[in-house]
Structure 1
Amino acid sequence: MPATTRDRTDIAQPRLGPLGWARWAWRQLTSMRTALLLLLLLAVAAIPGSVFPQRDIDPVKVRTYLDQHKSLGPWMDRASLFDVYASPWFAAVYLLLFISLVGCVVPRLGILWRELRAQPPRAPRRLDRFPEHRQVDLGDVDPAHALTTARELLRERRYRVRAGGRETGDGASAARGTATDEDGGRAAYGLLTDGVSGERGYLREAGNLLFHLALLVVIVAVAVGHLLGWRVDAIVPEGETFANTTSQHDTFSKGPWVDEESLPPFTVRIDKVTVEFETQLKGKQFGQPRSFAADTTTRAEPGAPEKPQRLEVNHPLSFGQSSVYLLGNGYAPVIVVKDAQGRQVYDQATVFRPQDNNYTSTGAVKVSALPEGKQLGFLGMFAPTISDAGLRAMPQSDFPAPAAPGLLLEMWEGTLFPDGRPQSVYTLETSAMKQPKTASGLPVRLALRPGETQQLPGGRGSVTFEGYKRFAGLSVRHDPGKPVALAGAALVLVGLIMSLLIRRRRAFVRVTDREGRRLLEVAGLSKSEDPRLGDAVDDLTAELCSRLGLAAPARPLEETVR
């Protein structure tokens, strides 16, 4: 057979213009699949913000990371991995997710509104084709009475019921008494009257929309909190005052629209920090903190009266929309350093950070009042309870309460801040410093108890450990979007519960004549997976039979394949 070829040059292929491509892109963006993909992408994009140090939280750690990774660090910085939540790519994903959700929800609001205004569909002719179908011999019961009873029962069960009158497609043919196609179909299937139909479960779709709308509210609230919120962390020893000014912030993280001059000017003085540790139980529970709190004196603004308040964990202090939380506690050894002439060049409570559950703490003492090249620095370890032998070795606290406190200092000399670079107050930059040696060639180490003073080698002066103070770790947070986000999260939960528990069901009742029998037929249909639909149809049939004085049919033991 000779081969034939088909000329495809005459086939008119559809072409999408700019408007067509824009519509296609909009449909793709506003599909639920794209929204879920963007939500997953947003979660993945937030991972670098938890893995790598962020510049707005700890710029010192970012600089240290860049110094340690000379090759990879600059490329990571160009990719905004140290400013993840302020990066353009994170904002793009965030905005696309918002637009996608809006495009998903708004059209569905119109669909739900039209469904709420429309009547339920008419009862189909062949109810026996439904997955859940029951039929009962009606006997001598009047069909009109049976359908009226069915209509009342559906209304009692909160179904929206469609009127049961006959509907003809052409009013003129009905006036002339001519038969319509529907009349022929009714006669063919033995339908005596129009059936009764009802529908319930519209709140399922409302719950689904509420879930998505609430998710939009949460997204907007988080964005508002990012733009207008700020957070401050500070460590305040006993007897000292925290003022909400940038000069007293250990760390300050603020949104792009926050004006530093508009921060609320409150003050918090830490009068006393009280900590209780477990002493009765043994094993791992021994020495565990049971409670810690701080007695404070606060002032809402300059000139306002002072107010004593108690600050506890999960019980913050409130200043308008700003809250002050108690996050931690520890020890701040009071250290005094004098130079060779006996002048006091350092005198303050120096915060040491706890390293274990027994509050073995490390810190740094920086005596910057001396000339460059002769400045002194001390790396220190503080133990609230330690023996003499342990203090002269490597200090390791035996108990978190201050039963026998000890301080070990390791001395350095040189320039504390080379090139003026910022550094952590808890560490010592030793690149421009040297460690003095003893006569035996060992590094200079000073083991001190409270009240003890030791002379520095080479006539450099003296160091006195006068005692210790407790400190309170404060976190001040201002998030104007938090109440809105909380309300949105609650509505998300409500919408999710509604969409999972409420079932969208339709119920149909008809009276038919088949093979000389007058039958009452009941059927049900669900718009989604509904394992309890059969129980609902059985219950509806049994109640209807009870009101009509009929015997309810036995529930089928297994599904019949139709």
Structure 2
Amino acid sequence: MTKARTARERASRRSDVEVPALGPLGLLRWAWRQLTKMSTALVLLLLLAIAAVPGSLFPQRVQDPDEVASYIQANPTMGPWLDRLQLFDVYSSYWFSAIYLLLFISLVGCVIPRALQHFRAWRSKPPRTPQRISRLPQYRKVMLGGRDGAAGPTPDEAIERAAAALKKRGYRVQPQDLGSAAPSVAAERGMLKEVGNIIFHVALLAVLISVAVGSLFGYKGQKVVVEGESFVNTLVDYDSFTPGTNFDADWLNPFSVQLNSFEATFSRDTSDPEHYGQPTDFNADVTLTDKPGATPQDVHLAVNKPLNVNGTKVYLVGNGYAPVVRVKDGAGHVAYEGPVVTVPSDSVYTSSMTLKVPDAGPDQLGFVGLLLPTAVSKDGEIPKSVDPGLNNPALILSSFTGDLGLDSGQPQNVYVLDTQHLKELNSMTSSNGPVLLDGQHRKVELPEHKGSVEFLDVKRYVGLDVHSDPGRIPAFISFLAAFAGLIMSLFIARRRAWVRATEAEDANGVRCTVLEYGLLARGEDHRLGVEAEKLTALWTSLWEDRGVRDYHLKSSDEA
């Protein structure tokens, strides 16, 4: 009963104690400590990876605003809410930027105090020799002297030579209590282990900064260039362009590239029919003018061998055929003449073609069909291509007339022809049949006196991918630094060693010096025992002339 009453009294007294409030400054200090924990940085890194997932699930406005508008129009209920949550602008959203910034602050808060602490530890002296070295994980004793009656070195001499030897092994040493009965030396090595750890974290910060710089000030774009045509690095000359968040069009490098010729090499090994006709190499000869007024230079562009124009990379990423056609309208005027870029759809370069002719009169014209590089036809069958090489090119087209809808102001896909409001003139299913143009039939008149289409030639085109990332080189250097720091932190061992020397006599009464030494590792170190054995071998080589033996004293001393 008394014990229960006492417990209640203690609980009552504890409940009466008022815990002081943290206050604004204390709350900020607590929040800063929580933010700068390494566990918090890892959680933020995981959150950043999760936050990037919607960027691959939903179309992004910076890449394709038309697709975003189409998505919102197709989802009138959910689309506006997703837009309010900035799921179409993930990488520039407030919540993504907040996670990114918090991760950056967390890493800075982790690294700077750790670096300062290690700097102070580096400048400080190794810790003093413990009183009981024998309690260390690795402990040894050796006796110096006593062989053939030779006296061992004095304790001070032993410690001075031991300190010099440890210094050669990379230890920083601090002799202690020289002149006393038991002088010693404290040694420490492996300070670069923590340096590597700090380098690793600083490099991660540099990677984050480099990625941010690239996403803010970089850009990428695509352009299709036909043989004989040029590409000028201006905003209006791109087929598609994705700028960084803070990119300014005035920053574009004013260079130009003219495609002189393109050659695709295909396998012609008849002993390997499975891979016959497959592409083996692509090469483009271009003329590069790296700035206005500069001397043009002929350069070679190949796959995985991009052009580097003042930090801007130009890659060869695609190719195909561009048939040259001439279209005349019903009045006999040339409404279009030039190459038409086609899109390959199979391994033999059967390519789809779309041509819109808004300048035709009195009605606009449109064509869709196929380019067959090596056309082969059989009686009663549709021609098809049997080889990617340009051996017997042919065009099979369907023609349409009417309003193409280009004057409405609505953007259209150049590779898609909307035939919903057009009148069909030629097709596979119509009575007029398709428009077939090949080496024998170069020109075909369209029905209802709508004009004609003529097959003039076939050119090659290439797809260029232009990248400018100012953070690319810093990110690569930071990655190398992070890798080097990781290797340092993994393979450099942080160790401390202490050596103490005392005078003694062996069993024959000869004065000798007992050298005892122990080692301690910072963290796990499975090689600590190997290091102890190496120190034993080191003492043996230092005092070989004096004799180094296992420690054995006279029985009186042992007692």
Task: Quote the Cα distance in structure 2 between the aligned partners of 1:473 and 1:439.
Answer: 31
Aligned with 1:163: secondary structure? strand
* Cα pair 2:428 2:434 within 8 Å, conserved: no
> Which residue does the alignment assign to 1:539?
534
Deviations 1:193-241 (A, max 9, x none): 1322211111111111111111222222222222222222100000111
Task: Quote the Cα distance in structure 1 between the aligned partners of 2:279 and 2:428.
Answer: 43
> Which residue does the alignment assign to 1:312?
302
> Which residue does the alignment assign to 1:164?
176
The partner residue of 1:528 within 523, 530, 541 is 523
* Cα pair 1:225 1:480 within 8 Å, conserved: yes
**Structure 1: runs of 5 or more not aligned:** 168-190, 555-562
> Which residue does the alignment assign to 1:212?
201
> Which residue does the alignment assign to 2:222?
233
Shift of 1:391: 11
Deviations 1:298-321 (A, max 9, x none): 223344333222222233333323
> Could you tell me which amino acid in structure 1 is paired with residue 119 of structure 2?
W
> Which residue does the alignment assign to 1:181?
none
Deviations 1:26-48 (A, max 9, x none): 11111111112222222232333
Q: Does residue 71 of structure 2 align to residue 59 of structure 1?
A: no
* Cα pair 1:509 1:520 within 8 Å, conserved: yes
Give runs of aligned pairs for residues 196-211 of structure 1, distance below 5 A.
196-211=185-200
Q: 1:349 to 1:38 in 2, by over 3 A?
A: same
Report the TM-score, using the length of structure 2 for normalisation. 0.86
Q: 1:513 to 1:145 in 2, by over 3 A?
A: closer
Shift of 1:286: 2.6
Shift of 1:440: 6.8
Q: Does residue 140 of structure 2 align to residue 134 of structure 1?
A: yes
Q: Does residue 417 of structure 2 align to residue 405 of structure 1?
A: no
Tell me the matched-pair count. 529
Shift of 1:551: 5.0
Shift of 1:512: 5.6
Q: 1:231 to 1:437 in 2, by over 3 A?
A: closer
> Which residue does the alignment assign to 1:344?
334
* Cα pair 2:331 2:361 within 8 Å, conserved: no
Q: Does residue 26 of structure 2 align to residue 20 of structure 1?
A: yes
Q: Does residue 266 of structure 2 align to residue 277 of structure 1?
A: yes
Aligned with 1:124: secondary structure? coil
Aligned with 2:225: secondary structure? strand
> Which residue does the alignment assign to 1:558?
none
> Which residue does the alignment assign to 1:172?
none
Report the TM-score, using the length of structure 1 for normalisation. 0.86
Task: Quote the Cα distance in structure 2 between the aligned partners of 1:413 and 1:199.
Answer: 88
The partner residue of 2:162 within 121, 132, 150 is 150
Shift of 1:165: 2.0
> Could you tell me which amino acid in structure 2 is paired with residue 408 of structure 1?
I
Task: Quote the Cα distance in structure 2 between the aligned partners of 1:391 and 1:329.
Answer: 32
Aligned with 1:162: secondary structure? strand
Give runs of aligned pairs for residues 456-495 of structure 1, distance below 5 A.
456-495=446-485
Q: Does residue 207 of structure 2 align to residue 195 of structure 1?
A: no
Deviations 1:172-193 (A, max 9, x none): xxxxxxxxxxxxxxxxxxx941
Task: Quote the Cα distance in structure 2 between the aligned partners of 1:34 and 1:338.
Answer: 69
> Could you tell me which amino acid in structure 2 is paired with residue 360 of structure 1?
T
Task: Quote the Cα distance in structure 2 between the aligned partners of 1:45 and 1:537.
Answer: 50
> Could you tell me which amino acid in structure 2 is paired with residue 120 of structure 1?
P
Task: Quote the Cα distance in structure 2 between the aligned partners of 1:385 and 1:247.
Answer: 35
Shift of 1:95: 1.2
**Greater shift after overlay, 72-81 or 524-533?**
72-81
> Could you tell me which amino acid in structure 2 is paired with residue 325 of structure 1?
Y
> Could you tell me which amino acid in structure 2 is paired with residue 245 of structure 1?
T
Shift of 1:157: 0.1
Task: Give % identity.
Answer: 43
**Greater shift after overlay, 21-30 or 514-523?**
514-523
> Could you tell me which amino acid in structure 2 is paired with residue 510 of structure 1?
R
Q: Does residue 40 of structure 2 align to residue 50 of structure 1?
A: no
* Cα pair 1:146 1:548 within 8 Å, conserved: no
> Which residue does the alignment assign to 1:183?
none
Query: Aligned-residue CA RMSD in angstroms?
Result: 2.9
Shift of 1:513: 7.9
Q: 1:92 to 1:390 in 2, by over 3 A?
A: farther
Task: Quote the Cα distance in structure 2 between the aligned partners of 1:546 and 1:313.
Answer: 61
**Greater shift after overlay, 422-431 or 511-520?**
511-520
The partner residue of 1:498 within 464, 470, 488 is 488
Task: Quote the Cα distance in structure 1 between the aligned partners of 2:60 and 2:473.
Answer: 26
Task: Quote the Cα distance in structure 2 between the aligned partners of 1:195 and 1:357.
Answer: 79
